[in-house]
Chains A and B, each alone.
Chain A
Amino acid sequence: MSQPDNASRRAFLRNTFTLIPTVGLAGGVSLTAKAAEPPPNLGDYQPAFFSDEEWAFLLAACDRLIPGESAGKGPGALDTNVPVFIDRQMDSPYGHAERWYMEGPYVLDGSPDLGFQYPYTPRDVYQKGIAMTQQYCQQQHGKRFDQLDADTQDSVLKALEANDIDFASLGESQKLEASEFFSSLLENTKEGYLADPIHGGNKHMAAWKMVGFPGARANFRDWVDQHNVEYPLGPVSLTGERG
C-alpha cells in the first residue's frame, strides 16, 4: 500500500493517464448502456419476493455479515443495498434454478462431495431457511431474529454456519441443512456487495472503491507494465457511473 513518493507519483499519474480512459469510457458507455437509474433508498425499497417478516430477517442478517461503518472502516451490506440485490436475484434465472438439473429422483443421502441434491430452488432455500431460523430464535430466545441484539444475532449465525441448528427437528423433510442455507446467504451477500451496481447492490460502487477495483474500465494497456504501482483511477460501472 505505502509508496515512497506519493505526491510526485500522483502528479505524474494525473498528467499521464487520467484523460485517456475517461474519454474512452464516456464514448463506449453512452453508446451501449442504458441510462443509469439512481439506486433506491433501502428504507423505501419494497421487496418483490420477500415478505415483511423475511425482509426484516434479511436486513438484520446482512447487517451482521457485512456490518457498516459503525463496526469499522468500509461500507456495510446495508449501505450498499445488498438486500435489494438478493431480492432481485430471487426473480432471476438463479432464484428459480432455471439452469439447474431439477429432475428426480432426489437422492438425499449421498456424499456431500457429489454436490447439491435438494429439490429446492434458491427461492425455496431462503423461504425455508428464514422460517426455520425464526422458529429457532423464538424457541431459544422468545424473539424473532431481527429483534435480538447484535451479539445474539451473531451467535445464531454462527450456529447456522456450524450446522448446530437442527433443521430436521424444525420440520425440514428434505434434509436441507442450516449450513447450506447459511452458505447461500453469505455467498449472495458477498456477491451483492462486490457485483456491478447494475444488479442492485454495491451502491455507488462503494465496495469497489474500498478495495481498489476499477470496475468495468476493462482497458489497462497503459497500466499493465506499471508494476507495483497503485492504480490511480476510481471505478466505473456498466451503466457509466463513475466513482
Chain B
Amino acid sequence: MAKQQPRVDAVIVGLGWTGSIMGMELTDAGLNVLALERGADRTNEDFAYPKPADELEYGIRHTMMQKPKQSAVTIRRNLDERALPQRKLGAFLPGDGVGGAGAHWTGVLIRPTPTDLQLKTFADQAFEPGVLQEDMQIQDFGVTWDELEPHFTFFEKVCGQSGTTGNLNGSIKEGGDPFEGPRSEPYPLPALQDTQNTEMFEKAAKQLGYHPFPNPSANVSRAWTNPYGMQLGPCNYCGFCSRYGCLNYSKASPQTCILNALKQRSNFAYRTNANVTRVELAPDGKTATGVTYIDDNGEEIFQPADMVILASYSLNNVRLMLNSGIGQMYDPIARTGTVGRNYAYQIGGGINLYFDDIEFNPFATAGATGKMFNDFSPGNFDSAQYGFIGGAKMHSSQASGTPIKTPLPKNAPKWGQGYKDALQKYYGHHMKLSMTGSVMSYRSNMLDLDPTWKDPYGMPLLRMTFDWKENEHRLSRFMRDRLSEIADILKPDYRDEGFQLEGSHFKVTSYVSTHNVGGAVMGTDPSNSALNRYLQSWDVHNVFVPGGNAFPQNFQANPTDLIGALTYWSAKKIREDYLKNPGPLMSRS
C-alpha cells in the first residue's frame, strides 16, 4: 500500500514552462497547487558565472538533459522494424529538472502563422485531391489565431521577447516579418544586435527579393521587467546559451521569468526527485483521483488531487497517458485510438560556408542570434507545384562558438597534422545557411509502449515509430535549392551541405532537433484527437495536458511560443469555466 500525502486541489506533473505557467494561473484562481518534478531542483545560483561556461560539461556531456537511464525512448523507423532503446542521447535532448528544457533552450520565441493553425483547411483549399501523400493525417489545431493572439502577447511579455514587429494590427512594418499574423502589440523589446553572418545573409536574401528579419528572441536585448515583476538583464552575448543555463539573467526561463514569483505564493509547493509513474483513475475511469510517484528514497507515494496537469515533456506526457490508461492507445493498423497518434518532428538542413578572410567571432553571440525569412511558409508560396505541403524558416543563425563543436569542411582530415591545420584555418571563419522545416503527421509516425524494455520503476518505455517521408524529402530539396542560391551570392571559399533528401532515413545518432511534437494532439473531433481544444482529455475530464504533444503536426519553426500561448489559453478556460463546473468542456458528439 502506497504512502498517501494530503490532498491538493491540483497536482502538476513537471515544472518546466507549462508547469510554471499553470502554477501561476491556478494559484491565481485560489487553488492549492503542488508541482512534482522528477529531476533535481535548479535555481539561478546553479547558473552563476563561470560555471555554465563549460562546453564539455553542458554542451557535450549534457548535464542538464534527461538521463536515458531514467527515461529512455525506444525507436524504430517503421512498423516492421524492431525498436531499440536510445541508450545515450543523440537526435533530441529533452530537459531534466526544474525549468525543464526551458532552462537550457536556445531562446528562439517565434509564433506560428494563422495558416499553420488551420493547415488542414488550407490544404483542402490549396491542393487538388491526390497531390498529397495518402497516409498523411494533418489536422487543424481547433483554435484560431484570434483566439490565441492575446496569449502569445502575454507570454511574450513574460519572456521579454526581442525582435522587430512586421504586422501590427494589419499594418506591415519595415524590417519585420511581413508574413507574420497580425500582432495586437509590438514586440516588447527591440531586436538583438546583428553579427557578421546575419549582415551577410540579410544582404543576399534581400538581393533575391526575400524579406529577412531578426530571429524573434527570448534572450533579451534590453533590461526588462515582466508582468510578474521578474527582472531580466540585457544579454551580454556570452556564447553559452543553447544547452546551457544563462549566467546573466538574460534568457527567459521558468527560473528567470516565473518561478521566483510563484515560489512566494503560500498556495504553491513543489517537490523534486518525485517521479510520477502514473495517473490514478476512479473506478469508472472518467476522472483522475491523483498521481502515484516514486520519491528519491524509492518509496511509492500516492498524491490525491482534484485536477491533474500533465506538464512534463511532450514525449513523457504521452507515456504517462498510455501508462495510466487515459484515452485509447492509437493502433495504426486498425486506425483506432488517439493516444500516440500524429507524432511529428522537425526537419533541418544547411549549407556550411567557409571564408578564408572573414572573422565571424562565433563566440560573441546570443543563442537566438540570427536573421530569417518566412517567404516559404505555407500559403506564402505555391508548394503544390513541387508536390509537397509545409514550409521552412530560412535563416542564418549563430548560436555558439564553442570549440569542440567547431564545424570543419567535409574534406578536411579528421586527425593528424591536417586536422590541426584545418582547426586553425577554419575556426571562426564559418557561417551557416539553414532551413528549419515543418513535418507533417502520418499514419505510421506514432508513439506507443515498448513491449520489451522498462524503466527503473518497471514501467514500459515509450516506443517511437518515426521516419522522414517523401513530402519532407521534397520540401528539403526545394529549400536546399533556395539556400544554394544564397550561397552562390555569398561566394564562400569552400562550402558543403547536409539535407534529408530523397531516400534518407531518420538516424538517432546525431542531433536533429528537440522539437518532438504530437502524440496527444488537440482538436475538435474525439476520433482523431486525444485532447479537446482546451487541452483537456476527452476521456478523463480533470486531466489537462499542455505541451508540444498537442500539435497535430509540426510547423516550420520553434515550438515554445505556441506551447506557452496554448497553456495560457487552456488555463483561461479552466479558470473561467472548468472550476465553476468541472466536467467535459466540449461534448464528444
Contacts and interface: CB of A to CB of B under 8 A. Distances in A.
Interface of A: 1-2, 28-29, 32-33, 64-67, 71-74, 76, 92-94, 97-103, 105, 107, 110-117, 154, 157, 161, 186, 189-191, 194-196, 198-199, 207-208, 210-221, 223-231, 238
10 pairs of A and B residues whose beta carbons are closest in the complex? A220-B364, A101-B72, A211-B427, A218-B238, A216-B53, A101-B68, A195-B56, A99-B67, A113-B507, A194-B403
Contact of A207 (B235, B248, B403): B403
Interface stretch (B7-15, B79-87, B472-480): B79-87
Interface of B: 48-56, 60-62, 67-69, 72, 75-77, 81-88, 90, 193-196, 199, 234-240, 247-248, 356-361, 363-365, 401-404, 406, 414-417, 419-421, 423-424, 427-429, 452-454, 505-509
21 contacts: A2-B357, A32-B51, A65-B419, A74-B423, A101-B87, A101-B453, A102-B87, A115-B509, A157-B415, A186-B414, A195-B55, A211-B423, A218-B50, A218-B238, A218-B240, A220-B238, A220-B365, A223-B364, A224-B361, A225-B193, A230-B361
B61 A94 contact: yes
Contacts, number: 210
Contacts of A229: 359, 361
B508 A74 contact: no
Contacts of A213: 363, 401-403, 427-428
A198 B69 contact: no
Contact of A72 (B62, B87, B417): B417
B563 to A, nearest CB: 26
Given A213-B427, A220-B239, A238-B50, A110 B84 contact: yes
A238 B363 contact: no
A207 B56 CA distance: 15
B490 to A, nearest CB: 14
A28 B49 contact: yes
A72 B388 CA distance: 51
A211 B403 contact: yes
Contact of B50 (A33, A65, A93, A114): A33
B568 to A, nearest CB: 32
Given A99-B69, A191-B404, A210 B417 contact: no
A88 B215 CA distance: 40
Interface centre among A66, A111, A224, A231 (most CB of B within 10 A): A224
Contacts of B81: 111
Contacts of A211: 403, 406, 423-424, 427-428
Contact of A101 (B85, B415, B420): B85
B469 to A, nearest CB: 16
A160 B408 CA distance: 22
Given A65-B416, A224-B364, 8 more contacts: A28-B49, A66-B420, A99-B69, A101-B453, A157-B415, A212-B428, A218-B238, A228-B358
Nearest to B83: A114
Nearest to A196: B54
Interface centre among B76, B195, B424 (most CB of A within 10 A): B424
Contacts of A226: 361
B194 to A, nearest CB: 8
A211 B49 CA distance: 23
Contacts of A111: 77, 81
A91 to B, nearest CB: 14
B364 A231 contact: yes
A215 B55 CA distance: 10
B359 A66 contact: no
Contacts of A113: 77, 505-509
B381 to A, nearest CB: 31
A45 B36 CA distance: 46
A65 B415 CA distance: 5
Given A103-B453, A194-B403, A210-B423, A64 B56 contact: no
Contacts of B429: 1
B82 A107 contact: yes
A24 to B, nearest CB: 9
Contacts of B401: 213
Contacts of A186: 414-415
Contact of B84 (A97, A107, A190, A196): A107
A199 to B, nearest CB: 5
B247 A218 contact: yes
A90 B420 CA distance: 25
